[in-house]
Structure 1
Amino acid sequence: MSRRPTATPANPYGSRTGARRSGPRPRRATTPPAQVVDDALALPEELRKASGLTVHTLRRLLPHRGANVYADPKTGQVYSPRLNPIGGVCADGYVRISGGRSVRREQYAHRVVYEAVHGSIPAGMEIDHRNTRRADNRVANLQAVTAEQNRALTRARGRVARGDRIRTSKLTEELVRQIRATSGSITGVEWARRLGVDRSSINSARRGDTWRHVKPCPRLRTRHRPGSQKGKRP
């Protein structure tokens, strides 16, 4: 009975023909995250300075095994398994680390930093930036809140886009004032034709259902306040 050939550089799969064997490919052994930092600390100081990582930075790094990356809680920077800084600011202001051979999938950097310090985010919780700067992922700037709390904080900070701050809006505050001022002379159909919008948008802005922050607002002016009606029977 002939023995199966062992794997060699010329025949890495250990097959008789040199071709790859059928079945799942064995996983490549990876260096444990802690060992990577220990090896970096053992490098000469010149090499560490060339890579931009000081001893203090290396000692601060915390592994995130789910994302296979490292996080610096003090600066909010995320590093790859080879200790290269990764992540970029996207159009919405958040920092994302893109998927690749080292990172398993695209993720938000602030969630990675928070989980590296505090563990998994509880179900139903979201991560809020205290100073409203979405690219500031220092752990001191992150807090776990519920979805309702996050919306309330967004409204309180005035970050809810409304009116002409919405990019797709065709109306402006000045146009809304003109629409309301001409309620008796120009119909909503005519305004809709001029501006290229739906008639319902014109009527809603004119009634004050939308654009309530533009004064004067008919909806607020006609709203009855408690105690404003005199002579009302009890």
Structure 2
Amino acid sequence: MDPSRFLKCLYNINTIPLHVLDPSKPYSKYIPLDLSENNTQFSSFDFSSSEKLGNYIETFIKKHKAFAAYGGYLEKRTIYKRSAHFKTLNLDNSERNIHLGIDFWCPANTAVYTPLKGTVHSFCNNSNYGDYGPTIILKHTLFEFEFYTLYGHLSLSSIKHLKVGQIFKAADQIGTLGSKDINGDYPPHLHFQIIKNLQGWVGDYPGVCNIKDLNFFKSNCPDPNLLLKIKL
């Protein structure tokens, strides 16, 4: 797969923004949210409490009169320190703390849509503490390229009747957002990620990496905003 040509194809597939949440809500109703370690508001924040983080995010959204908050691509976060899950994939026990998708923060049960026609590759309830919870991976074909989109932190009902090979048209609803009780213990949100090569993963793929592996994952998981065009 030619990396530069693939990125151009992603960007040029649409001239208007695509959506993974309510398509009737324009991106002018979304507010960017910085959850990085550089945000000084989090210097003493208790990230172990999903309730406190949820209150912070909900207040932030209401303050800006927004439909949802979004952000996080390649953001280095301290939130992952709370879970041993973010060391389990590294042989050297190093910390995975660099986020590889875009998060969309909004209430549980919010509908989730696919921006492109796709086929269900796999799905799983990744139930580790701090993990995705219910997750769907769709396979897409764009010109000569095959790639995948991942939707994490969904509701259990999103995968209850799902079938591998099931086809969704562009803008079809594929699920709803889960609550903190089943989404890995996070405030409700969608983790949306583009993946070029799944590397044999089924129903799961790393959504966070360490600094040592960043170059590979940055190439394999391009910025979802190329496709969504939240900021034109």
| TM-score of the superposed pair, with normalisation by structure 1 | 0.20
| Larger helix fraction of residues | 1
Q: Which has the larger radius of gyration?
A: 1
Higher relative contact order (CA 8 A, sep 6+): 2
Give the TM-score normalised by the residue count of structure 2. Answer: 0.20
Between structures 1 and 2, the one with greater strand share: 2
